[in-house]
Structure 1
Amino acid sequence: MTTSFLYEKDSDNIVTVTMDMRGSVNAINDEFIDGLRSSLEKLAGEADLAGVVITSAKKTFVAGGDLNDLVTAQPGEEHGVFVRTEEIKALFRGIEKLPVPVVAAINGAALGGGLELCLACNYRIAVDSKAVMVGLPEVGLGLLPGGGGVVRLTTLLGFEKAFPFLIEGKKLGAAPAVAAGLLHETVADQEALLPRAKAWILEQRGNELAAVQPWDVRGFKIPGGGEEQPSIRQAIVFYAAGLRKKTRGLLPAPEMILDIMVETLRVDLDTALRIESRQFAQLVTTPEAKNMINAFFFQMNQVAGGQSRPKGFEKSTVSRLGILGGGMMGQGIAMSAAMVGISVVIKDVTMESAEKAKAYSEKGLAKLIQKGRMTEAAAQDVLARIKPSISNDDLQGCDFIIEAVFENVELKHSLTKSTESCLAEGGVWASNTSTLPITSLSGASSNPSNFIGMHFFSPVDRMPLVEIICGAETSEETLAKAFDLARQLKKTPIVVNDSPGFYTSRTIGTPIQEAAQLIAEGINAVRVESVGKSVGWPVGPLALQDEVSQKLSLDIIDAQISMGLSKAEDDPTPQGTALMRCLLTEHKRGGRVHGGGYYEYTEAGKHIWPGLREMYFNAEVDGEVNDQDIRDRLLFRPVIESLVCLETGVLRTVADGNIGSIMGIGAPAWTGGYLQFINTYGVQRFVDRCRELEAKYGKRFAPPAIVIDKAAAGELFQ
């Protein structure tokens, strides 16, 4: 018996192994290996064993592999990772080879290694509860399921049905998981779980196949067929092409997973498991995996867990929220708030506009109903929480008011003065501005300590990030309340200090500006966009500028100059800015919403506007600049801007910078965030490359002092 795995045998000769590891969760680590090995050794000595139930004493079943172990693996240590992975797999295979049926009794989340353990059991029963979630989400951390998940799921479901669970990391609740074939049945509650598991074992008396995995039965064929099937061969080619287009070859994990899936169709199970171990060992030591583990697990937990939330303040909850402005941002905030049970007043200048804002939620909820993710009754409850209004009286007693009108200082000041008094005692006023300094906006407030910035991202109901901005007088209590509201809205909040554009807006603009500068210098616009896509952004920099709109970008530049926040002569890319002004004023090309910008938009699709080549292309210049310089110019600009934000105190933590860049402005996942990119690129190497770019293209590429100091000290950004 071990302290981690409790071993109990009942009068029916059924052994229940209950995982109860040290700490809050069960995780696959040395303690797990020792506990499972000890249990299997004891089971081997049972003469009259009828069956085995594996369950958990924790709220979760098994949380998966211990990422603290995985992230320490370095290049050159692949063999050690392989041996350890094979050790775990041998234990799972040992479960499959037991001469009696084994049931996984799943009481909570079984993700990653947790589901891999379940797949090694003959039967899988789960409580029909929101706490139960099953899946193999490793791809989201830059990893692949290394405990047999790729092989067993492909073998169990077939190539095509397994694809979304492995390549996309799709997760399911208990009932949907039964329908998908991952689980066998559910029970109503926790009390029924073990009795039902034992009852199933007793029902299998005389059924020799109950203790044999399907793939160990002679003559077994993978559902849907193997690679010899024409439809499967076509699917492999189709999925491989789609995957390459999506990842651009920058993410090794999905491609490795697909490779293992294909090998599973070709070879026996044990050989496929060994191939999976080799691929896993190779993947774990890659910089992409380390970057993604660091960002999406460790730093995400730091940020969402409240690293930047002031201590000493009780958790607050908003019950009544006022929103000023029913445009794209306001309507999205309203829907997000109503979805989590907050009563919302959305005020606009006309009732027609306010009703239109509520209609956005109605359309969004209808889509959820259509997809089976919400009932009609639940949707009506959400809509009932949203009150359109044109009267300040309806804002009385709001715990929080969020102003979400367009970027005009005078308008924002007038709204603050006219509605701030509607707040309940201790209420907070927030501006959804994306660029205007909070300290300046709070000048119209009678209580600037209760004034804060909450920059949401569009579309609000789908984008997970909120950038919280503290003005010079914003109190710690106000920050705590804003942080709590963001979490209540199920958003991930980063906290930054005040400056024009804050962190995300000023950083997202840099590759856009650099792309304009490149075109103005004579580089082919099609080439700029193509190389830009190779960085791994969701869209190229020219397409992104069209979505943001050239007009809005120029309006922001001009507003900051007029407010004295910047000077025209300090523009780091003056030729690019002049190009945008020319497009807007002389050619009426202000962005997609204005009919076109860098791109022409037609019913058949979109293409780069030919006028760019006619006006700016210089074959000689284009031939002198290599793709690597273009790529680095586009990528290094937001990285350098992130460093400046960290150096000047706009960014409070490295974690906020990495999470904010990935979740808010599309930093490629393989980088782990713009600051983490420097760590794996090499801090000194980054400084050297910056100096090369500075010598060729200007002082905007000069390495900030903070990175020079890190390089000299041999330190990383952590």
Structure 2
Amino acid sequence: MKAIRIEKDSDNIVHLVLDNPNASANIMDADFTESLRQAVRQLQGEDFRGIILRSAKSTFFAGGDLNRLYAARREDAEAFFSECQALKADLRWLETQGKPVVAAINGAALGGGWELALACHHRIALDDRRLKIGLPEVTLGLLPGGGGCVRMPRLLGLQNSLPYLLEGKQVSPQQALAAGLIQQLAADPQELLDHARDFVLANSDTPLLQPWDQPGYRMPGGDPRNPKNAQLLAAAPAMLIQKTKGCYPAPEAILSVAVEGAQVDFDTATRIESRYFVELACGQVAKNMIGTFWFGLNAIKAGDSLPESVRQMNTAPVKKIGVLGAGMMGAGIAYACASKGVEVVLKDVSLEGAEKGKSYAQKSLQKRLERGRMDQSRMEAILNRIHPTDQVGDLDGCELVIEAVFEDRKLKASVTRETEAVLAESAIFASNTSTLPITGLAEASGRPANFIGLHFFSPAEKMPLVEIICGQETSEETLGRAYAFVLQIGKTPIIVNDSRGFFTSRVFGCFTNEGIAMLGEGVNPATIESAAAQAGFPVGPLAVSDEVSMTLMSKIRQQTIADLQEEGKSVPSHPADKVIDHMLELGRAGKASGGGFYSYPESASKHLWPGLAKEFPQGEQPPFADVRERLLFAMAVETLRCYEENVLRSVREANIGSIFGIGFPPWSGGALQYVNQYGPVEFAARARELAALYGDRFEPPALLRQLEESAQQLTDE
């Protein structure tokens, strides 16, 4: 057997040792399923007192074989279904053969790993808060297909199981014990094994059944016909659609399996689960999400986008950084870094301003403390790492300084020169600019090889992405150190080359501008926001414009105009410009100024400003599909241009960056994967339709025309 070793101890207890020799973690691949099948056949003819499932790896079991799932096609559905059923039959034998089966969980048990544990009569886990238990399949567009959707409701009840199934909730061993997912904790590996043996020896003389196989079993909380469940389930589909907007088939399938499976016998329920699972695995949304959130993200974390020489660098963790500017962005960066163990000097023009920046972290941490998500000692440790100051000399000893002052070229140049005077020659200076080219900003630096862009997103302590921008003189060593630092503070880095607006700001501006332009054309503002929601965007273009503020949009545009004129280049215009100018004339610059496209009453929820109807009279409404696709295509076409112009270095970074940084719908797999799944030929044809109707900004760039002619997709292969 390739992935499982069978050992029998002196107490006649069988140990199924999970140990895939070809991988660092155990996964539910072909080797495992075949090994399990062989183990079951062998044990069917043997005498033993019980079975202990344990792992020889640092984790218990990592989950499904995503390579296999990613490759699944509809023409393979029947064979795929049969494979699923065969695996479940072996798991079913484990829990019905009569002897006690114990899962000794020494590390993470996620996805298929937790489903394997659920097929055991008793589950024991190491008491280590780093160990996670759960079913994250929904985050990859899938459902738990190894019995998870059947056993979890039977173990916890319908209502209590849904957060694990629908949200991919993961818990620590202590939380799992409290929830009834496991029955025991162990302090160390030896105690884990001792507890497992003790359970087997204490329960080996009488046949042992799972709760759901015992006579008279009733599902906790009742089945779907129970009045309390019936009331919940009547509203659940509508609530689910409100959340997913119909873009994500996995949550709907999970709810269907849980409810349908709860009304039939166990074996029928597992067949229902397999059918839904195969349908999702062969579908496009799962392909999009697995490709980006698993393969793409892992490649980025492994540094696949870095030059080979940089990947070979041995980069030490950063111990101390400086942050210039204690506004919302600077305060958020300081908080994000301090929470990961980095000492932070937070400098502002006044000590009062710097202290206010530190209080931002204090308020956020206090909320976590009150909710029981953090203890007092950890809160104090984080706050003690943030050192507010108004003295530039306090930056001495910082290995990295991140400038987060206003988007003003002269101001940035001034703080660059002032700060570099007190830094060591090896220190890195990074600008958090969202639009100004790094090469130009580096002109103020005495060491441009150490100058780089680190573009965080607001709120910096929550947003997962950091855009790393290399100037013309940025050294590979600086890039490598910056990349390692971003990973050190738990963020996802993407590398882009220098240009105005870089990638994220440039493409994000297309989203807001397209929504604003449609308003100026007379499209109903509620239709614009609704189309964005139904496309899968987290926030509509009008609402997010209010958050950004039209004052900032106007300043960025004016700075761009000035820079381009100085360079002797033509100044582009967009139909949104006149709408923004008019809103500013009306004194409605956005949320911070009291109102913009939305009104923000103190005692009620925000709502679209009624005055929009007068200021931007509505005409004949375009098809809803056009409104929806204009938002998607505006971003996707501009992303194609960024890739064509070598602003973007890889397809995976385009996809990750568009989702993590600027809210492109996750179901699509990202802006370039949206082009792939639409089909380059079909996408180009639709882009031309939109260009003819709404403007040449939708015209296919040369790269898309090449893809159209070759019928190829965008990949990093």
Give the TM-score category using the shorter length: over 0.9
| 1:568 Cα deviation after fit | 10
Distance (whole Å) between structure 2 residues aligned to residue 488 and residue 111 of structure 1: 24
Partner of 1:408: 408
Tell me the SS of whatever aligns to 2:424: strand
C-alpha distance in structure 2 between counterparts of 1:10 and 1:316, whole Å: 45
Instruction: Report the CA distance between 1:207 and its aligned residue.
Output: 4.6
Partner of 1:506: 506
What displacement does 1:425 show? 3.8
Question: What residue number does 2:12 align with?
Answer: 13
The within-5 A match list for 1:215-364 is 215-309=212-306, 310-364=310-364
Distance 1:202 1:615, change over 3 A: same
Q: Distance in 2 between matches of 1:339 and 1:528?
A: 38
Per the alignment, residue 91 of structure 2 pairs with 92
Residue of structure 2 equivalent to 1:596: 595
In the TM superposition, residue 572 of structure 1 has moved relative to its aligned partner by: 4.9
Identify the residue that residue 194 of structure 1 maps to in structure 2. 193
For 1:452, what is the secondary structure of its paired residue?
A: strand
Q: Does the residue aligned with 1:605 lie in a helix, a strand or coil?
A: coil
- Normalising by structure 2, what TM-score? 0.97
Contact kept in structure 2, 1:409 and 1:441, CA below 8 Å = yes
- Give the letter aligned to residue 224 of structure 1: G
Q: Aligned to 1:11, what secondary structure does the other structure show?
A: coil
* 1:40 equivalent in alignment to 2:40: yes
**Equivalent-residue separation in structure 1 for 2:596 and 2:74 (angstroms):** 46
Q: CA deviation at 1:205?
A: 4.2
Separation of aligned partners in 1, 2:396 and 2:555 = 34
Corresponding residue for residue 519 of structure 2: 519
Query: Which amino acid in the other structure matches residue 211 of structure 2?
Result: P
Whether 1:470 and 2:470 are equivalent positions in the alignment is yes
Report how far residue 160 of structure 1 moved: 1.2
1:710 to 701, 707, 712: 707
The one-letter code of the counterpart of 2:15 is: T
**SS of equivalent to 1:538:** coil
User: CA–CA distance in 1 between the matches of 2:246 and 2:2?
Assistant: 45
Distance 1:358 1:615, change over 3 A: closer
Give 1:593's aligned amino acid: A
- Matched with 2:679 is 682
Q: How does 1:273-672 map to 2 (within 5 A)?
A: 273-309=270-306, 310-564=310-564, 570-574=571-575, 576-585=576-585, 587-602=586-601, 603-619=603-619, 621-622=620-621, 625-672=622-669
Q: 1:696 aligned to 2:697?
A: no
Structure 1 residues 570, 686: CA separation in 2 closer, same or farther (over 3 Å shift)? Answer: farther
Q: Which residue identity does 1:134 align to in structure 2?
A: I
Q: Give the C-alpha shift of residue 130 in structure 1.
A: 3.9
Equivalent pairs, count: 709
* Distance in structure 2 (CA, Å) of the matches to 1:163 and 1:701: 42
Taking the aligned partners of 2:608 and 2:126, their CA distance within structure 1 comes to: 54
Cα distance in structure 2, aligned partners of 1:71 and 1:663 = 22
Alignment-derived partner of residue 139 in structure 1: 138
Contact 1:331 1:357 in 2 (8 A): yes
The amino acid of 1:411's aligned partner reads L
Q: Which amino acid aligns with 2:313?
A: F
In structure 2, C-alpha distance between the alignment counterparts of 1:244 and 1:77, rounded to whole Å: 29
Determine the C-alpha separation between the residues in 2 that align with 1:157 and 1:572: 58
Distance in 2 (alpha carbons) for counterparts of 1:239 and 1:359: 40
CA offset digits 1:657-680 (Å, max 9, x no partner): 000001111111111000001111
Q: One-letter code of the match for 1:301?
A: N
Give the conservation status (yes or no) of the 8 Å contact 1:561–1:567.
Answer: no
Within 5 Å, which residues of 2 pair with 1:65-84?
65-84=64-83
Larger deviation: 252-261 or 358-367? 358-367
Contact 1:63 1:110 in 2 (8 A): yes
* SS, match of residue 508 in structure 2: helix
TM-superposed CA distance for 1:302, in Å, is 0.9
Query: What RMSD over aligned residues (CA atoms) do the two structures have, in Å?
Result: 1.5
CA shift, 1:641, in A, is 0.6
Task: Tell whether the 8 Å contact from 1:659 to 1:673 is kept in structure 2 after alignment.
Answer: yes
Aligned-pair CA distance for 1:311? 2.6
Are 1:129 and 1:189, in contact at CA under 8 Å, matched by a contact in 2? no
- The Cα of 1:569 is off from its aligned counterpart by 6.7
Instruction: State the TM-score, normalized to the length of structure 1.
Output: 0.97
Q: Distance in 2 between matches of 1:109 and 1:311?
A: 28
1:239-285 deviation digits (Å, cap 9, x = unpaired):
32221111100100001101111112211221111101000111111
**Contact 2:100 2:204 (8 Å CA) reproduced:** no
CA distance in 1, matches of 2:356, 2:223: 52
How many Å separate the matches in 2 of 1:571 and 1:634?
Answer: 19
Could you tell me how far apart the structure 2 residues matched to 1:421 and 1:313 are?
Answer: 27
1:527 Cα shift?
1.8
Say if 2:141 and 2:285, in contact at 8 Å, map to a contact too: yes
CA deviation after TM superposition for structure 1 residue 570, in Å: 4.6
Task: Give the distance between the partners of 2:5 and 2:268, measured in 1 at CA.
Answer: 33
SS of 2:513's equivalent in the other structure is helix
Flag structure 1 segments of 5+ consecutive residues without an equivalent. Answer: none
TM-superposition CA deviations, 1:156-202 (whole Å, max 9, x none): 10111111111110111111111111111110012222122111111
CA contact (8 A) 1:398 1:422 kept: no
Q: Which amino acid aligns with 1:37?
A: R
**2:555 is paired with a residue of what secondary structure?**
helix
Instruction: Note the alpha carbon deviations across 1:16-71, whole angstroms, 9 max, x for none.
Output: 11011122111111100111111111211112x11100111111111111110011
Secondary structure at the counterpart of residue 38 of structure 1 = helix
Q: Show CA shifts across 1:477-527 (max 9, x none).
A: 000011011011000000101111111111111121111211212222222
- Identity value in percent: 46
Equivalent position SS for 1:154: helix
Provide the rounded CA distance (Å) in 2 between the counterparts of 1:540 and 1:632: 13
> Which stretches of structure 1, 4 residues or more, deviate above 6 A after TM superposition?
565-569
